[in-house]
A and B are shown apart, each in its own frame.
Chain A
Amino acid sequence: KQEVTQIPAALSVPEGENLVLNCSFTDSAIYNLQWFRQDPGKGLTSLLLIQSSQREQTSGRLNASLDKSSGRSTLYIAASQPGDSATYLCAVRADSNYQLIWGAGTKLIIKP
């Protein structure tokens, strides 16, 4: 059974710092992995999607990496801003179905 874990559960850093969020999964047979952002009252927004054949994806100040063999993904945020404060979740999709398996998220606070 696939399990997704995100550590740390919460993180608080000063504005301007670069930071890394971690996601690990127990079954390497994934189809893809997504990173989402969740803001209170606004639902979830997909940030980056990495297919199983890819090693990384970049969008602006965000870079996500995927290492299937070790069951790990990281989300790198460069030059953090207060507007980056949110909960970040990763989710994996298995080969055989469309169901997403989610981590519990990392609550990120960027202090001005």
Chain B
Amino acid sequence: ETGVTQSPTHLIKTRGQQVTLRCSSQSGHNTVSWYQQALGQGPQFIFQYYREEENGRGNFPPRFSGLQFPNYSSELNVNALELDDSALYLCASSPVAGGPDTQYFGPGTRLTVL
């Protein structure tokens, strides 16, 4: 049990809609990263937030955006959903003392876009 939770577990949306995925980290974890994992593939880095500011981004378009809140929760927002956005979305948080290689992953949100 990592102490990182994600909601919802599963979600079905239609193309063109918007979606918000949520992640709750442990107290003191001030860095959160979001990943997209397509079926049969490894995770791809979307972006990372540190102290409520984005401080790194992968090769994802601006319709993928995020927020991090002072209470160690965060959100991933995706606008104008496309069929290829169907994937498992993972968040991972890092404690202050652990450094960037100490990441605790949540169980993920499975998003299906029809």
A positions within 8 Å CB-CB of B: 4, 9, 32, 34, 41-46, 49, 89, 91, 93, 97-105
Contacts and interface: CB of A to CB of B under 8 A. Distances in A.
Interface of B: 2, 4, 33, 40-45, 48, 56, 58, 90, 92, 100-103, 105-108
Contacts, number: 49
13 contacts: A43-B90, A43-B106, A44-B92, A46-B103, A97-B56, A98-B48, A99-B45, A99-B56, A99-B58, A100-B45, A101-B45, A103-B42, A105-B42
A49 to B, nearest CB: 6
Secondary structure at the B interface, as helix, strand, loop or mixed, is loop
A49 B90 CA distance: 20
Secondary structure at the A interface, as helix, strand, loop or mixed, is strand
Contacts of B58: 99
